[in-house]
Structure 1
Amino acid sequence: MYICSKQTTMYRYRFTRFSVCMLFAVCTLLLSSCGTRAPRVDYRELARAAVRLEMDIDADDNHRLYVEVADWIGVPYRHGGTTHRGTDCSGFTSAVYKKVYHKKLQRNSDAQRTEDCRKVSKRQLKEGDLVFFHNGRRKRVANHVGIYLKDGKFVHASTSSGVIVSRLEEPYYRKCWMQGGRVKGL
């Protein structure tokens, strides 16, 4: 009887240990293969961004980009500026890229075009690409830059209105369009 009792105890111990190991393995497997993700940003921030940008923000969009550029809407234009107190177009793109993508861009529109980007056509533009414009006089030099969002809209620091969202199809931007640029390494 003593032997049977010892075996039964040993059997229960093995079963308990086996159960714990199996439970741990199954939980680890389920959690590691889980398809859900934590939200990238607070949904209240995302809703505020959608209102400020006057556009829908989808689940597949870069939420960090939209929240960041929404915080810049209305910031006044200031030549040479790079802060929320005032910014120029290349200062704006540099600041956003540093925060959202952890990339350092040149501080001049044409240098961003020639040194930081590879050329992209208007039809190939993706969210976060840079868009470059000339002033009509020097058509080979980019003197304005913005960040493409989607649906033909881009955000930029306008000399007259500060940071705003505009459409690529507006007559002025259609006339002064130069090229799109995808930042190298993204």
Structure 2
Amino acid sequence: MKISISKPILTLIFLFLSVLGAESQTIKQQLKAYREEGVKKELDIKGVNPEAVITSARYFLGVKHRLGGLDHEGLDCSGLVYISFQKHGISMPRSSSEQGRYGKQIHARNSLERGDLVFFHMSWSKKLVNHVGIYLGDDEFIHVSSSNGCIISKLSDKDWKKGFLFGTRVW
């Protein structure tokens, strides 16, 4: 059986694949520049273990998204991380982009451990690091979604798998 594809369709397929490749290359270049600007900063964890921070984060499950929020009236993804660490006297930056500069970077999803922070580039923003959550183990992480509020999601879900940049281990 011979399949015939018209020239315009082939052109569209080529353009689509080119855009995907260019986007991937741009992300790689941005990630390289991000690392060169400084990562692996130390965080004074004051002897707190990851379970305490995870428990604090779980306290916000079901809370709606609110940009810049830090309480049960609403919060955003970096706010969840910020407040969950702050409750234990740990000073964490407020933005996901700056939070990603702390700890040892973990590049393989299968190397993540409970309590690691997970960072993403989602297509809705031009910023490289624009989403963060806390890894719970078993492919799950807690985060704040703009549409669903504070929830637990799977790293292997299509969008999160595609957007995953790296994890960090601050412990």
Match of 1:129 among 101, 106, 116: 116
Q: Which residue of 2 aligns with 1:98?
A: 86
Unmatched segments (≥5 aa) in structure 1: 1-60
Matched residues, percent identical? 36
Equivalent residue, structure 1, for 2:106: 120
Q: 1:177 aligns with which of 155, 164, 169?
A: 164
Partner-residue secondary structure (3-state), 1:72: coil
Q: Which has the higher contact order (CA 8 A, sep 6+)?
A: 2
What residue in structure 1 maps to residue 137 of structure 2? 150
Give the CA deviation at 1:129. 0.7
How big is each residue's C-alpha offset from its partner over 1:103-148, in whole Å with a ceiling of 9 and x where there is no partner? Answer: 211111111112x232113222111110000023778711000000
Distance change in 2, residues 1:139/1:150 (3 Å)? farther
Instruction: Supply the distance in 1 between the matched residues of 2:146 and 2:125 (Cα, whole angstroms).
Output: 18
Structure 1 residue matching 2:141: 3-state secondary structure: strand
TM-score (norm 2): 0.65
Shift of the 172–67 alpha-carbon distance from structure 1 to 2, 3 Å rule, reads same
CA distance in 1, matches of 2:61, 2:72: 9
| Separation in structure 2 between the aligned mates of residue 107 and residue 119 of structure 1, nearest angstrom | 19
Question: Residue 179 of structure 1: CA displacement?
Answer: 0.5
Question: Which blocks of at least 5 consecutive residues in structure 2 are unaligned?
Answer: 1-48
Higher fraction of helix: 1
What amino acid is the match of 1:154?
A: F
In structure 2, how many angstroms separate the alpha carbons of the residues matched to 1:92 and 1:145? 9
Alignment coverage as a number of residue pairs: 122
1:70 CA drift (Å) = 2.4
TM superposition score normalised by structure 1: 0.60
Highest Rg: 1 or 2? 1
